[in-house]
Amino acid sequence: MSKTAAVIKGDGVGPELVDAMLKVAKAAGTDVEFVPCEAGAAWWEENGGNSLIPDETWGILESSDACFKGPTTTPGGAGSPKSVAVSIRQKYNLYANVRPTKTFPNTNTPLGEVDFICVREGTEGMYIGEEVKLTDDVYIALRKVTRPACRSIARYAFEEAKKRGYDTVVPIHKSNILKQTCGTFLEEVENIGKEYPDIDIWEYHIDNIAQQLIKNPQLFNKKVLLSTNLFMDVISEECSALIGSIGLIYSANIGDNYAMFEPAHGSAPKYAGEDKVNPVATILAGAWMLDYLGEKDNANAIFKATEEVISEGKYVTYDMGGSAKLSEMTDAIVSKIK
């Protein structure tokens, strides 16, 4: 039986990007059945409610083998629902948000070539979205850190390093100030690290590593950068600039029994329908999903074709210094696969 993937096209540029991903996946010969479903700000603005995800979509997610999520917009302001990604991560305990960060050939490298992995705890931290109003002038945001979640993400990071042949896990924290929350995170990383004697632990304070990634990013090549939810959200965004465009950063949200794949960037509503934005992150997130679902050869074919198109530089989008449209770059990737 073929595997099934729930597909959320999302908001802004999401639908055209997801269509590009599906076109490439089908060109590679996938047997995965893609099941479209609704979620995001556009759906919510039309239907209302306390969630950006309708009940029908939850039903499709329950019966699928994985989820692909295009970029979605999260409304701001008190009382608005939590994001689509956060909702799915928390529902299915997708504790590992993973972003490979590697320079592509023939692209802008602002500070030299880099090659490392960003691993972010995806279910806790500030992203629980719990805030308390004490007075009209005082508000408090709660940060949740639990030992089980810290152990899960630490083990994932060490296993990822072991699988890739990396020699170091880099836990990023601020335990000199946040002594209990960051302190607990660091303790659990160190405890799990004892089971991996061949992998070093380099601990960095969040402010220091933000500087070091600019000063000497190659220091972290072939290493796993690891942190709690909000800290790694910020650091991984900084890391995306090191390869020239967040449009090249694909990501996965991985749990023990389920996974969701998505580009790392947002929905960019000002570019919606303009056939302009970079499709690479979305296409490669789709390829990663095919790998997860057992189609390794198809995934490899997509990665190889995409890298060839980027390397040639003829059909690349504006953020990579080219003038190709989204659809033109997609068609070039499809041609390479065929």
pLDDT at 92 over 80: yes
Domain count, the chain: 2
Average pLDDT of the segment spanning 64-85: 92
**What percent of the chain shows pLDDT beyond 90?**
96
Distance CA 190, CA 229 (A): 18
Q: What angle do CA 117, 122, 126 make, to 5 degrees?
A: 120
Decide which of 213, 243, 273 is a domain's last residue: 243
pLDDT reported for residue 80: 85
The pLDDT score that the predictor gives to residue 1 is 72
Verify that 89 and 139 share a domain, yes or no. no
Q: Which residues pair with 261 in a beta bridge?
A: 68, 252
**φ and ψ at residue 133, rounded to 5 degrees:** -95, 115
β-pairing verdict for 33-37 and 224-227: unpaired
DSSP 127: G
Instruction: Give dist(CA 241, CA 209) in Å, integer.
Output: 15
Report CA 264 to chain centroid distance, whole Å.
5
* Average pLDDT taken over every residue of the chain: 96
Determine contact, residues 222/113, Cβ cutoff 8 Å: no
pLDDT at 77: 82
Show Cβ contacts of residue 73 under 8 Å, excluding neighbours closer than 6 positions: 10, 11, 12, 40, 41, 42, 266, 267, 269
Residue 213 placed within a domain:
yes
Q: Residue 237 belongs to a domain with what CATH number?
A: 3.40.718.10
Distance of CA 176 to the CA centre of its chain: 28
pTM exceeds 0.85: yes
Residue pLDDT, tens place only, 10-44: 999 999 999 999 999 999 999 999 999 999 999 99
- 174 lies in a domain? yes
Amino acid identity, position 38: E
Of 322, 290, 263, 249, give the one whose Cα is nearest residue 27. Answer: 290
Cross-strand bridge partners of residue 225: 118, 170
Residue 103 falls within a domain, yes or no? Answer: no
Alpha carbons 40 and 71: distance in angstroms, whole number: 9
Residues 75 and 132 in one domain: no
User: Are residues 123 and 44 both part of a single domain?
Assistant: no
Residue 238 in domain: yes
Confidence at residue 108, expressed as pLDDT on a 0 to 100 scale: 87
What token pair was written down for 193? Answer: 């690290």
76 pLDDT more than 90? no
Do 208 and 141 belong to one domain?
yes
123-169 per-position pLDDT tens digit:
999 999 899 999 999 999 999 999 999 999 999 999 999 999 999 99
Count the alpha carbons within 13 Å of 214 in the hemisphere toward its beta carbon: 7
One domain for residues 233 and 256: no
Domain final residue, candidates 217, 243, 269: 243
2 pLDDT band (50/70/90 cuts)?
A: confident
pLDDT per position as a tens digit, 177-228: 999 999 999 999 999 999 999 999 999 999 999 999 999 999 999 999 999 9
Please name which of 225, 291, 222, 221 lies closest in space to residue 254, comparing C-alpha atoms.
291
pLDDT at 177: 97
Summarised one tens digit per residue, pLDDT across range 99-133 is 999 999 999 899 999 999 999 999 999 999 899 99
Handedness of CA 200, 201, 204, 210 (dihedral sign): positive
